Amino acid sequence: MTDQQAETAEAAETRAPNAHNAAKLAVVVGALGVVFGDIGTSPIYTLQTVFNPEDPHPVPVSDHNVYGVVSLIFWSVMIIVTATYILLAMHADNDGEGGVMALITLLRRWRATHPGRRRAATVLAAVGLFGASLFFGDGMITPAISVLSAVEGLKVVEPSLGEYVVPITAVIIIVLFLVQRRGTETVGRVFGPVMIAWFTVIGAAGIVGIVEHPAILEALSPTYAIGFLAGHFHIAFFALAAIVLAVTGAEALYADMGHFGRKAISRGWLFLVLPAGTLNYMGQGALILKDHANISSPFFLLVPDWGRLPLVLLATAATVIASQAVITGAYSVASQAARLGYLPRLRVTHTSATTVGQIYVPFVNWLLFVSVLTLIFAFRSSAALAYAYGMTVTGTISITTLLFFYVAHYRWNVPKWLIALGAVPLLAVDLLFIAANLTKLVHGAWLPLLIALVAFTVMTTWQRGREVVTAERERAEGSLQEFIDQMRSGTMPIRTVPGTAIFLNRGGVSAPLALRANVEHNQVRHEHVVIVAIDTEPVPRVAEEDRVTVNDLGYADDGITHVTIKFGYMEAPDVPAALAQLEPDESEGPLDLDKASYFLSKIELRRGKAATMAGWRKQLFLATSHITADAAEHFGLPRDRTVIIGSHIEL
């Protein structure tokens, strides 16, 4: 090897790790822009809410209470975010995906292979579904409370601007939801740098406060948190309802794991978000110790007069990013729920050519839009909304903790004594937070519970109604084998026409309604018939080599091919693209997919007299069915070659 070749090889070896490190850094920056927006903006309103004098159970402002509250905030973050999510829950993934929906699919998969444990797994899956339902409440409350809290900084800059807080917040929310259909790919490129600037600024502001009263660092000791809880439980208990605001957005760390990976999220949390948040909370505590009057807005008062307006603008940008993350998270949860059969088929638009997770769901978008605006004008302040916010957070965290330890025991065979060692203290903390938030039930905590209950009822009703309709549909379709035998017998006058017809069906046992109608009423069948069964697997994505399976059902001589196409619950179904993978020798004859006709069965649902469901649930199911997306669009079928044949089924 020449000296020049050696130098070139050495340079290539140097560039390789540098490129690898740059790629890892880019993922961390991306995670900072998407994952940490919600929890990263919690310092704006958490400490202020704890000492809010208008609270139904106010916490008196005293030096002792400030130390205790700041210590409780720090250790709550360490226990719930660092221990429960970063160290534990994020190790329970479903092919890389996280969140409550991932835990539900793990339980469903485990239930299918362990019939003896089916009842327990079913109950826990239902509990997990309620946790997913709580996320919809989070998606409504987060944009309202986050943007309100940031814009309220205007009152610190100039008190006379207070009357403009609600209108300005409403305008920001309107613009935010109007641009959702354009996607976040372009804007997302600046999310990471903006959030890095945010965490740098709030960390620096915290240091300024700490320098003026460094004794606040003693609050890092757990003895202050324990002493506050044990010695002043009648005060600390009610304070927990607001302290939990410090961990809002913890679920996002887990739910977005599939987009950025566990390591990138863990690094972003441990090396930037956690230190910056801790410094800011300590700085706010020091500021209150200096002058108890600073409790009116300790976050914005940390910076000098000249820096408050820029901080308001930066805080508004950060809260918009936090809102964006929760909104897109709601799209993702709704889309996954639809694929798993808990919601009707929804119209989903993919807004990025490169990022799978960036989607837009119009129905969810406008539902959230109306709900968020209603909350802003009904509550009118972040402090009032805080009463409602804590319940969604505590409920989701507790359910995630419960499901994680169940999965850890039965999937990984972790011994019960070790499970108890971790589950008992963590669940005790979670339940203590839930109990504290229940004291705010009449002051707004009922709202997220009502939202979750409605969402849970809709999803379980749709799941049950779908089972009833599927059973009735299979009865109406009849046996595919018997139908083909009938065609073979010659009792029906059938004319065979050239071309390929593709019929979408739910399985390989029954005959597609559209095929039956075409043969019985039109007395026509195509030369080549492909019956396509579409399965949504309990995994995020299906490997391309496992996408299409040709099932040998014995209909080769009849020119009928039966195909099963599998999609993951996070994929956009594209039937024509999947069928294009078929090799010529796999189908019964040449398939002209470019000119093939696609046949769909459109089912009109009617309320029947059979006691399959309660009357009100039938009405709810029928009402929910009206938001079902167009099947041709959903499965990527060509409009000009898709034929829809109608039929009706009684529920």
pLDDT tens-digit series, residues 403-413: 899 888 877 88
Residue 397 lies in a domain: no
Within 10 angstroms of residue 583's Cβ, the number of other Cβ atoms is: 8
Residue 10 lies in a domain: no
Q: Give the residue among 193, 208, 160 at the shortest CA–CA distance from 314.
A: 193
Residue 170 lies in a domain: yes
The b/e string for 133-145 (b: 16+ C-beta within 10 A; e otherwise) is bbbbbbbbbbbbb
Confidence of residue 116 (pLDDT cuts 50, 70, 90): low
Stated as kind and residue range, the H or E segment containing 620 is helix 615-625
Residue 114's pLDDT is 67
CA 397 to chain centre: 14
Locus of tokens 């605006």: 373
Residue 3 has pLDDT above 60, yes or no: no
* Same domain assignment for residues 479 and 619: yes
Q: How far apart are the first and last CA of the chain?
A: 78
Whole-number percent of the chain with pLDDT over 70: 89
Residue 167 has pLDDT above 90, yes or no: yes
Confidence of residue 352 (pLDDT cuts 50, 70, 90): low
Residue 641 lies in a domain: yes
State which of 363, 378, 393 marks the end of a domain. 378
Residue 499 has pLDDT above 50, yes or no: yes
Confidence of residue 203 (pLDDT cuts 50, 70, 90): very high
The full 3-state SS of 459-488, as one line of letters, equals HHHHHHHHHHHHHHHHHHHCEHHHHHHHHH
Give me the residues paired with residue 96 across strands: none
Residue 531 has pLDDT above 50, yes or no: yes
Residue 377's pLDDT is 92
d(CA 268, CA 195): 11
- Model confidence over 329-350: pLDDT tens digits? 788 788 878 878 888 888 877 6
Helix, coil or strand: residue 153? helix
* Order of all β-strands in the sheet with 642-650: 548-551, 560-568, 524-537, 495-505, 597-606, 642-650
Stated as kind and residue range, the H or E segment containing 102 is helix 100-113
Which tokens in the block code for residue 544?
A: 């391309």
Residue 23 has pLDDT above 70, yes or no: no
Residue 129 lies in a domain: no
Name the pTM for this structure.
0.80
Long-range contacts of 475-482 (CB under 8 A, 24+ apart): 476/513, 476/647, 476/649, 477/510, 477/511, 477/512, 477/513, 477/516, 478/510, 478/511, 478/516, 479/509, 479/510, 479/511, 480/508, 480/509, 480/510, 480/511, 480/531, 480/553, 481/553
Residue 205 has pLDDT above 90, yes or no: yes
Burial (Cβ within 10 Å: 0-12, 13-18, ≥19) of residue 521: exposed
CB 32 within 8 A of CB 199: yes
Locus of tokens 């093939």: 596
* Stretch among 139-143, 170-174, 355-359 having the lowest mean pLDDT: 355-359
Residue 337's pLDDT is 83
CB 342 within 8 A of CB 463: yes
Burial (Cβ within 10 Å: 0-12, 13-18, ≥19) of residue 105: buried
Residue 509 has pLDDT above 80, yes or no: no
Residue 13's pLDDT is 47
Section 315-322 average pLDDT: 89
CA torsion 416-419-420-424 (nearest 10°) is -150
Instruction: Give Cβ neighbours of residue 37 (< 8 Å, ≥ 6 apart).
Output: 191, 195, 249, 252, 318, 319, 321, 322, 323, 324, 325, 326
Residue 279 has pLDDT above 80, yes or no: yes
Residue 629 lies in a domain: yes
d(CA 115, CA 119): 8
Instruction: Give Cβ neighbours of residue 648 (< 8 Å, ≥ 6 apart).
Output: 603, 604, 605, 606
- Name which residue leads in pLDDT, 266 or 17: 266
* Same domain assignment for residues 74 and 186: yes
Burial (Cβ within 10 Å: 0-12, 13-18, ≥19) of residue 11: exposed
Within 10 angstroms of residue 157's Cβ, the number of other Cβ atoms is: 15
Altogether, the residues listed in the chain come to a count of 651
Apex 404 CA angle, 130 and 573, nearest 5: 65
Residue 471 has pLDDT above 90, yes or no: no
Which tokens in the block code for residue 389?
A: 């916010």
- Name which residue leads in pLDDT, 51 or 630: 51
Residue 106 lies in a domain: no
Q: Give the residue among 423, 414, 401, 437 at the shortest CA–CA distance from 81.
A: 401
Which tokens in the block code for residue 63?
A: 């030096």
Residue 12's pLDDT is 45
Stated as kind and residue range, the H or E segment containing 501 is strand 495-505
Which tokens in the block code for residue 405?
A: 């330890």
State which of 330, 361, 378 marks the end of a domain. 378
Average pLDDT along the chain: 83
Q: Are strands 524-537 and 495-505 parallel, antiparallel or unpaired?
A: parallel
Confidence of residue 316 (pLDDT cuts 50, 70, 90): very high
CB 104 within 8 A of CB 128: yes
The b/e string for 335-354 (b: 16+ C-beta within 10 A; e otherwise) is bbbbbbbbbbbbbbbebeee
* Same domain assignment for residues 345 and 230: yes
Give me the residues paired with residue 495 across strands: 524
d(CA 75, CA 33): 25
Residue 426's pLDDT is 93
Residue 184 has pLDDT above 60, yes or no: no
Section 73-102 average pLDDT: 87
Residue 636's pLDDT is 85
Long-range contacts of 347-355 (CB under 8 A, 24+ apart): 347/629, 347/630, 347/633, 347/634, 348/572, 348/629, 348/634, 349/181, 350/572, 351/181, 351/182, 351/183, 351/184, 351/185, 352/183, 352/184, 352/185, 354/185, 355/185, 355/259
Domain count, the chain: 2
d(CA 242, CA 383): 10
Section 266-290 average pLDDT: 94
* Same domain assignment for residues 486 and 623: yes
Locus of tokens 């207070």: 162
Single-letter residue type at 487:
M
Section 54-69 average pLDDT: 90
Residue 482 lies in a domain: yes
Q: Are strands 597-606 and 495-505 parallel, antiparallel or unpaired?
A: parallel
Task: Give the count of alpha carbons within 13 A of 438, CB side only.
Answer: 7
Section 146-167 average pLDDT: 90
**356 to each of 332, 360, 595, how far by Cα in Å?**
11, 11, 29
Residue 84's pLDDT is 92
Whole-number percent of the chain with pLDDT over 90: 27
Helix, coil or strand: residue 398? helix
DSSP-derived letter for residue 97 is B
**Residue 55 domain boundaries:** 25-98+136-378
Section 499-503 average pLDDT: 88
Residue 557 has pLDDT above 90, yes or no: no
Sign of CA dihedral 609, 610, 611, 612: negative
Give me the residues paired with residue 19 across strands: none
* Stretch among 254-263, 371-380, 569-578 having the lowest mean pLDDT: 254-263
CA 412 to chain centre: 25
Confidence of residue 477 (pLDDT cuts 50, 70, 90): confident
Confidence of residue 466 (pLDDT cuts 50, 70, 90): confident
Which tokens in the block code for residue 348?
A: 């989903």
Which tokens in the block code for residue 150?
A: 């940031």
State which of 346, 378, 410 marks the end of a domain. 378
